[in-house]
Amino acid sequence: MCHVYCRHHEVLCRFLLLITDVHGDHMNAAMVTRFSKPGAVVIAPPAVVQTIAAAKPLANGQSTTWEKWTIEAVPAYNITHMNPQGQPFHVKGRGNGYVMTFGGKRFYFSGDTEGVPEMRALQNIDVAFVCMILPYTMTPEEAAEAALAFKPKVVIPYHYGSYNVAVFIGKLAGSGIEVRPLNWYRQSGS
């Protein structure tokens, strides 16, 4: 995210980096270093701050502001999907999803989570980015059920790998929720 200010031929570019979890596909220290120019702000769960010390910690349930944005940390965790040792892939309290509000519009980024009660209780979400991939988060059916619970105006599925997004779209058909699938995973040769 870049916000540009121009004054007398000076350009100051401010970056906001939101990190959702400690896993390598969410927390990339090299990328944080690359984008941590003067004015960059990194917001992350406290568990991430142990690795990326420059990050401002934001725990589940807390909120902060950046520029004209309000940022709320929503718990992101597993309830039923467990690793072979019987532990959740994402434990409650470690990872964040985020609700970002700007100009009265609310955007939700789920992070790696299941359809947890905190997600289902969200209100007035204009655009939601909802993950779905097993074994770490949700099936397309579970993700659709979660979206139906909090009813965003628009939902964009992501983090779905090779899952068939048509299943997710089909489950939301007729719900009044607009589904906007994006081509996150380009096929080789495309």
Give the mean model confidence (pLDDT) for residues 152-179: 93
**Tokens for 134?**
């097993």
Between the two ends of the chain, the Cα-to-Cα distance in Å is 26
Question: What is the percentage of the chain residues whose pLDDT exceeds 90?
Answer: 71
pLDDT band at 23 (very low <50, low <70, confident <90, very high): confident
pLDDT of residue 59: 98
Q: At what angle do helices 165-172 and 140-150 cross, to 10 degrees?
A: 30
Does residue 79 carry a pLDDT above 80?
A: yes
pLDDT of residue 35: 76
DSSP symbols for 84-153: TTS-BSS-TTTEEEEEEEETTEEEEE--S--S-HHHHT--S-SEEEEE--TTTS--HHHHHHHHHHH--S
Write the DSSP symbol of residue 73.
E
Does residue 134 carry a pLDDT above 90?
A: no
pLDDT band at 131 (very low <50, low <70, confident <90, very high): very high
Q: Where does residue 23 rank: exposed (0-12), middle (13-18), buried (19+ CB within 10 A)? A: middle
Question: 5 has which bridge partners?
Answer: 12
Number of H helices, E strands in the chain: 5, 11
CA–CA dist 40, 37 (Å, integer): 6
Domains in the chain: ranges and CATH: 2-179 (3.60.15.10)
Q: CA 163, 165, 171, 177: dihedral to nearest 10 degrees?
A: 140
**pTM for the whole structure:** 0.89
Give whole-number Cα distances, 152 to 34, 60, 92, 164, in Å.
33, 21, 23, 21
pLDDT band at 121 (very low <50, low <70, confident <90, very high): very high
Please, what is the average pLDDT of the chain? 89
Question: What is the percentage of the chain residues whose pLDDT exceeds 70?
Answer: 90
Does residue 82 carry a pLDDT above 50?
A: yes
pLDDT of residue 111: 94
Which residue in the block uniquely carries the two structure tokens 């979400």?
125
Give the mean model confidence (pLDDT) for residues 98-126: 97
